[in-house]
Structure 1
Amino acid sequence: MVVGLYTSPHLVRFNERIQVNNEKISDADIALFMNHHINQIKNIQTTFFETTTAMAFDYFNNKSIDIAIIETGLGGRLDSTNVISPTVCGISSVSLDHMDILGDTIQKIAKEKAGIIKDNIPIVTFDQNKFVIDIIKKTAARKNAVLTIIKNSDIELLSFDNQGTLFKYKNYTINLPLRGEHQILNCVLAINLAEIIINDIDQDKVNKAIINTSWSGRIEKLTKNDIYFDVAHNYDGIKAMINTIKSNHPQKKLFGLFCIKGDKNMNSISDLIRESFHQIIICQDKNKYLLSVNRLSKILDKQRINYLSVSSVKEGVNIIKNINVKESVGLIFGSHYVAREVYNEFGKDFDKTYN
């Protein structure tokens, strides 16, 4: 079976976004698409994400894939990925994110997310915020889409540690090598989607696939000492990250290196930082894509959070590396866009380590 995968954003290289059977699109194939379609791109003035989505669909067509896994870029209703006619749709955790575009309440954001629900196409989600579930239910009913809601009570947690989680779901006993209970829901969502697509799915193959799962930038341990990198950048993601680290290291203080985009709900994120971190260090990425240290420091001052500002990711990482590892945990978090800098500071060759 040939499987295409389209996700965003990338961590280090653009090629990560478009893959077939775990092989990333080549630079040559990217150039081929751009050379062939450059006039259309200029004439229509497509956005970066629209162009990327078209590239993915064209690449998948050329590779004669059997199944495509397509992640929306932002929201859902107006997302350029939403032109497809899917076999099944899945909605994961809905939280306050991209509020300048999707809306300033969880209800508004949920309506945008529910925009991927299609007439007579199955939809799967998991139990979460009541307002979110109500909107998904109403949209599914209006579209005559069969809705599956995964409940926490359907899952039996057997054990968890710093290597991953062991749990039961239906007839499966799953050994998930990702840190955090929140990843259990993502895993179970994926299982349900696969079961709809593939009749009489082989449980042994499911278990084998999951046990070989890796996901860079998700509570990823960078050293033998307790220093982690996580791309969490909204309230729910950061809360899940903190809860996981505290569960695995209950007696240790948290030190954080933090940078983030300007469209995030910093009020709620600030509450988490204030409650959870012994010290927070702030910085900005080399490309100046994230909030400047000056702007971020003003936000944290207003929220009465003690912090240390540094001029670069490199300087911040050096401080994190020198914390007392017997008493503390280091967390680098807040954005995908510092991944390359972070990996470089820990001597990791992304292409060799993560390909």
Structure 2
Amino acid sequence: MGNKPFESQSLADWLCYLERLHPADIDMGLERVAAIANTLNLLKPAKQVVLIGGTNGKGSTAAMLESACLVQNKRVGVYASPHLIRYNERVRVNGDELSDSAHCEAFAAVEQARGDIQLTYFEFGTLAALWLMKQANLDVALIEVGLGGRLDATNVVEPDVSVVTSIGIDHQAFLGDTRESVAFEKAGIFRAHKPAVVGEPDIPSTMIEQLQKVGAKPVRVGKEFNYQQQAACWSWHDDAEPASERYAELPLPHIPLPNAATALAALKALSLLPSVEDTKAILRNTQVPGRFQTIQESPRVILDVGHNPHASSYLAKRLTDVKGQGRVYAVVGMLADKDVAGTLQPLLSVVDHWYTATLDVPRGATSDVLSAELAGLNTESEQFESVKAASDHALKQALPGDVVIVFGSFYTVADMMGEAE
């Protein structure tokens, strides 16, 4: 075709361009991305590369790895998706977001290199993120897998350590509707002779088979590493080195405990396990926006991006722990292609009042669809045209000792964060 490459100094212009560049949101396969990554020399964007997959827990695991690298004065980059408010959230270097102009420069480099190769929004953004990391002369690059693993654009890199945080059912149209099919796709990020850290305690046989077939070094919870929770603290140890029992009396983290334990195993695999004192500080300080994030007290307002049954089961447990004698008011907004009933079910026993909100975005479910799903679960709800309207109503009903949980999608949480800014 020989089209003239797109040029702009505006990040907003570039993002509009990316959105209309490819007819599909998702186009699984690595050939097109790999060709450009090779041209730009992006297959190894840092001295050490960590690829982080999993149904839930990628963001919190990456955040803890990032904190541990920063404490040890390592130059560290993170690529995460999706963003909540600004596109710039997707790439961090040494804990900081990058400027609009840096992203524009990266997009221009990818645009120049791609020629006539078509890229989706996510593929273009992934290549740009890898380019930014390569420019930053990093010690460690932490790269979150977008969807699945085997055919995800991020899987063009050569990881030194691969991590799978959890295995649940999500994105069934692309990954299949069984844990076995999902596990097979996620195992696609494992590499021969490289550590494969698995934080999922119930590993499907398909992942074990792929581990062995690829010849990766297994680092599995319950096998090669373990952790135990006590009432107000926890301990972690690597089974190969009983001396690491000194990682005891650790403070409970703000992120899910299984992800913190998995992050420690990944750090050990990287030879970057911090001292026990540094580990305690990291656990106290690591938080992730939109993951069981409290934005107001009395009544307590919590935001959570959880949007599948695995995430909502964890959310139900956390809410049970924090609600005390108060009532729980839930504001839910979800995408229509998610397992709505499966996501709502685990929360029925802990939520007292339900408010459904229409998400005015592509694929967004309407409040009447969500309320119909709740009705099918023998649960009443009130319907609202927006997350703001639903949350405003919930806050009027809630007393100081109550909890308002706003959850169901990155879009739902972003709506609330937009209101708070």
What is the CA–CA distance in structure 2 between the aligned matches of 1:287 and 1:328, rounded to whole Å?
A: 30
1:126–1:189 Cα contact (<8 Å) kept: yes
Q: 1:55: Cα distance to partner?
A: 0.6
Residue 335 of structure 1 aligns with which residue?
Answer: 409
Tell me which amino acid in the other structure corresponds to 1:18: V
Task: Determine whether 1:175 maps to 2:247.
Answer: no
Deviates more, 1:150-159 or 1:232-241: 150-159
CA contact (8 A) 1:97 1:263 kept: no
SS in 1 for 2:397: coil
**How many percent of aligned residue pairs carry the same amino acid?**
24
2:187 is matched with which residue?
Answer: 114
Where does 1:77-92 land on structure 2 (aligned, <5 Å)? Answer: 77-92=150-165
Q: Report the residue type matching 2:369 in the other structure.
A: R
Instruction: Say if 1:100 and 1:263, in contact at 8 Å, map to a contact too.
Output: no
Higher relative contact order (CA 8 A, sep 6+): 2
Task: Verify the 8 A CA contact 1:323 1:330 in the aligned structure 2.
Answer: no
Q: Which moved more, 1:101-110 or 1:320-329?
A: 320-329
TM-score, normalising length from structure 2? 0.75
How far residue 311 of structure 1 moved from its aligned partner, in angstroms, is 1.0
Q: Structure 1 stretches of 5 or more lacking a match?
A: 161-165, 350-355
**One-letter code aligned to 1:205:** D
1:194 matches 2:267: yes
In 2: Cα distance, 1:300 partner to 1:154 partner: 38
What are the superposed Cα offsets for residues 219-246 of structure 1, whole Å, 9 maximum, x if unpaired?
1111112221111111111111111111
8 Å contact from structure 1 (residues 283, 309) kept in 2: yes
Q: State the 1:288 CA deviation.
A: 4.8
Which residue does 1:32 correspond to in 2? 105
Query: Structure 1 residues 121 and 252 mapped into 2: Cα distance closer, same or farther (>3 Å)?
Result: same
2:340 paired residue number: 266
| 2:383 counterpart letter in structure 1 | S
> Cα distance, 1:145 vs. partner?
1.3
Aligned match of 2:40: none
Letter in 2 for 1:235: P
Partner deviation per Cα, 1:11-43 (whole Å, 9 max, x = no partner): 111111111111112101111122343355572
Q: Which residue of 2 aligns with 1:156?
A: 228
d(CA) in 2 for partners of 1:106 and 1:116? 16
Q: Distance in 2 between matches of 1:106 and 1:250?
A: 34
CA distance in 2, matches of 1:154, 1:38: 45
The answer as to whether partners of 1:127 and 1:151 remain within 8 angstroms in 2 is no
Matches within 5 A, 1:307-322: 307-322=381-396
Q: Specify the code of the residue in structure 2 equivalent to 1:157.
A: Q
Q: Tell me how far 1:200 sits from its aligned partner.
A: 6.7
Query: How many pairs does the alignment contain?
Result: 337
Match of 1:233 in 2: 307
Q: C-alpha displacement at 1:60, in angstroms?
A: 0.7
Moved more, 194-203 or 166-175: 194-203
Structure 2, gaps ≥5 residues long: 1-73, 238-245
How does the TM-score come out when normalised to structure 1?
0.88
CA shift at 1:266, angstroms? Answer: 2.4
